[in-house]
Chain A
């Protein structure tokens, strides 16, 4: 299987039904996307495919159409994405396990709606669980990121 992940072409030797999440994590060594439930109920595995947020735990490799972007692809230490910057200013993360998925969902939200309302946030972020319940800070960080990108 050929994929483009974070701009890099990669070759994955696996069955077409293997979920993208596990191909990324176990075969390609890209560990930002996390396993939380395997049934599209928690959002920890969220990545972008062709710019759209998807739950990679239920997306078979054979159905990946478009470039894949993971948390590693949006920014790194020293060159953070505006959403990651906002996450740091608001000190959002606690255990941090859900946060790659939260951030990818937030990136997708802000791409679609640069200045989201509370209702927009509720509608698009409801699929991302956080057992540490950092929700108030996630909301604040999304609004901060929206403001910082000058929308």
Chain B
């Protein structure tokens, strides 16, 4: 274990110990200490059992899924967790997102910020997870991120369903004067098998919700599951194929006006001069509002349609102030080069790396330098939010990943208390981490202060979205390995530099909080891979950030560390004359879940079969978010152009709650990673982002997309995440395939800088 890890353990022990008792049981967590947010708004004839289950006397049961549906199928999977224990069919429930409330805090998410390899299952690491859970509760975050929704909800949601079921049984038992344990439940009815009597849940609901259970209900054995572990049709599918108005941009309210914004694209800059005479005279334009916040400076235009607002915004004559410290690519790379040459903090330090390298013969050394660029999220739905400020109350409709943070930031902007602010979470047209931010909701709030109580829908142009992202940071790594006589690595030393995400993010949310000095994300995906190498060091350096806002992007640090670690592993294999798959198998022998996915994917792809001269395969592995994933990419070359033929993925997620949704997520995650690896890059010049729209930031399209085959394994002892885990191995598997085919080792993304894709 690394030195940093040991120190952190000591620091956190006290907090973890104090809190462990309260966190052990999900029941406790949601019954106390947070109030049940549903109680205040229960309708006539509606029984509220707990923060997740409402049963009306008639009609469908409502389950609350307080996580953002951004494509990952979370609505369906979390609803199935409740339905499984409640004994109802999925088509008997309707799903609501529910309000922003502390009861829905995501305790699972912040646990992953712990600098321990996930597979380190020692007691102390466990307690550390408990300790981070306290922080999560303290912030009362309700975020969707870190691939944590199902792991976080796995116990809590099932308990919510089981609690309601047991209360319903208790009420029926009272009615029939029998023992509750003798009753059965199925499809929304309680039955007394002795008499054949049945009663619908709705008929019992109002009384049952008042039943005080004396013991925690016992959760079903997975062997008895009817819904979980089987593919369920997604509850959101029909709405999505019929064009239903479910997204943030579709919000429609009486008396609503439309708006767009233009913010200074030079990060941190203010407005120098602004002339709105011409634009205000245009038809359909109502008002121009200056926006000055710690998140950005600019203006909004309010009009009778989004287009009228956008056209008028184009016509505003504005001169932006440029901060003294201009951001450009040269400055960014100079900062990264300086950082990677400096001292890092060790997140892993096994053996004695310095000594092993001190006398390494040149011919046994492998050395390389890797780079990745900034990336945009470019979710298909541009940033937007709708806000209404009336009689001191603020309502915000926003496609967001964090309702409680959104509520905090919007209430602050409006100068009201959080109790007077309601956040309504719509479906999200993609997010990938971008919608954990609050800027779009804050700007909508600002405009809503200027419309005399009328709601205002604020839609950004794609250009605003792309030039005001919180980008996936650029990163740079210097790596070296010493090989033994047998070609196997005796020592591996990786140093990685990148701007800190958390240092950029925290001031956006909490302008007064101090910024932390180190950031695990910089090495996440390199320091915690399950390879046994006697001398193994991974250190991270926070690079100076010249002012580019950076944020969470699908798989976060793993998105680039996957490439760094696994492309370099491929270099080690080549230098040592060892097959890349064989190399992994021998270095990961201590981790059966890792071995399992490597063997599986090699089998699926027929790794050892020979290929025609114009074809090749590349392999990569990564564990992230508690899951284990191996990928193989096959490519072909025709007339100098490379085509992606096929991707095979084997993933061990410990427990697969819905195999078809997991398969779709793995496919999406891998192709998202390939898209970035092949084409995506944000450059900076003159203090602003260069790319502005899909003509110059052009992601993967259907004719470039390979076929994907997925196998899901369930051997790992713990359930892992699924939404991000397909991304980390994708880039290195492709880069390694390109090396196998062309002999060209590409160490800087995007790959399209060096090769042409068909």
Interface residues of A (CB under 8 A from B): 14-15, 18-19, 22-23, 25-27, 29, 31-39, 41-42, 44, 70-72, 75-77, 80, 84, 87-88, 91-100, 103, 121-123, 125-126, 128-139
A129 with B699: CB separation less than 8 A:
yes
Contacts of A87 in B (CB 8 A): 237, 241
User: Can you show 20 pairs from A to B with CB atoms below 8 A apart?
Assistant: A19-B307, A31-B243, A33-B243, A34-B380, A36-B694, A37-B462, A39-B693, A41-B693, A41-B694, A77-B238, A77-B242, A84-B241, A88-B237, A93-B237, A94-B73, A96-B241, A97-B247, A125-B703, A132-B672, A134-B664
Indicate whether B708 reaches chain A with its CB closer than 8 angstroms: yes
Interface residues of B (CB under 8 A from A): 69-73, 233-234, 236-243, 245-247, 249-250, 252, 258, 283, 304-308, 310, 378-382, 427-432, 459, 461-462, 660, 664, 667-668, 671-672, 675, 693-695, 698-703, 705-708
B381 with A76: CB separation less than 8 A:
no
Instruction: Take A22-B307, A121-B702 as given contacts and tell me if A130 and B380 are in contact as well, using a CB distance cutoff of 8 Å.
Output: yes
Q: A71–B671 Cα gap in the complex (Å)?
A: 27
Instruction: Take A71-B242, A96-B71 as given contacts and tell me if A133 and B667 are in contact as well, using a CB distance cutoff of 8 Å.
Output: yes
Q: A125–B700 Cα gap in the complex (Å)?
A: 12
Contacts of B708 in A (CB 8 A): 136
The 9 closest A-B pairs by CB, nearest first: A32-B243, A97-B429, A96-B240, A94-B71, A95-B71, A133-B671, A71-B243, A122-B703, A22-B307
Do most interface residues of chain B lie in helix, strand or loop, or is the interface mixed?
Answer: loop
Contacts of B258 in A (CB 8 A): 26
B306 with A92: CB separation less than 8 A:
no
B428 to chain A, nearest CB (A): 6
Q: A134–B72 Cα gap in the complex (Å)?
A: 12
Q: A32–B695 Cα gap in the complex (Å)?
A: 24
Q: A97–B247 Cα gap in the complex (Å)?
A: 8
Q: A23–B707 Cα gap in the complex (Å)?
A: 38
A73 to chain B, nearest CB (A): 9
Contacts of B245 in A (CB 8 A): 31-32
A35 to chain B, nearest CB (A): 6
Instruction: Take A97-B381, A122-B703, A136-B707 as given contacts and tell me if A70 and B243 are in contact as well, using a CB distance cutoff of 8 Å.
Output: yes
Contacts of A22 in B (CB 8 A): 305-307
A146 to chain B, nearest CB (A): 16
Q: A87–B239 Cα gap in the complex (Å)?
A: 12
Q: A71–B238 Cα gap in the complex (Å)?
A: 12
Q: A110–B552 Cα gap in the complex (Å)?
A: 40
Contacts of A38 in B (CB 8 A): 310, 461-462, 693
**Which residue of chain A has its CB nearest to the CB of B72?**
A94
Q: A140–B483 Cα gap in the complex (Å)?
A: 46
B305 with A93: CB separation less than 8 A:
no
A125 with B702: CB separation less than 8 A:
yes
B283 with A15: CB separation less than 8 A:
yes
Q: A128–B694 Cα gap in the complex (Å)?
A: 11
B702 with A122: CB separation less than 8 A:
yes
A29, A33, A91: which contacts B660 (Cβ < 8 A)?
A: A91
B256 to chain A, nearest CB (A): 9
**Which residue of chain A has its CB nearest to the CB of B708?**
A136
A95 with B428: CB separation less than 8 A:
yes
Instruction: Take A34-B381, A126-B702 as given contacts and tell me if A88 and B238 are in contact as well, using a CB distance cutoff of 8 Å.
Output: yes
- 15 further interface pairs, Cβ-Cβ under 8 Å (given A15-B283, A80-B241, A94-B72): A27-B305, A37-B462, A39-B693, A72-B242, A76-B242, A84-B242, A93-B237, A94-B71, A94-B668, A95-B379, A95-B431, A98-B380, A129-B699, A133-B700, A136-B707
A129 with B242: CB separation less than 8 A:
no
Q: A123–B207 Cα gap in the complex (Å)?
A: 61
**Which residue of chain A has its CB nearest to the CB of B705?**
A135
Instruction: Take A122-B703, A131-B380 as given contacts and tell me if A25 and B243 are in contact as well, using a CB distance cutoff of 8 Å.
Output: no
Q: A77–B694 Cα gap in the complex (Å)?
A: 32
Contacts of A31 in B (CB 8 A): 243, 245, 249-250, 252
B699 with A131: CB separation less than 8 A:
yes
Instruction: Take A37-B693, A132-B668 as given contacts and tell me if A72 and B243 are in contact as well, using a CB distance cutoff of 8 Å.
Output: yes
Q: A44–B462 Cα gap in the complex (Å)?
A: 12
Contacts of A138 in B (CB 8 A): 702
B307, B430, B461, B701: which contacts A26 (Cβ < 8 A)?
A: B307
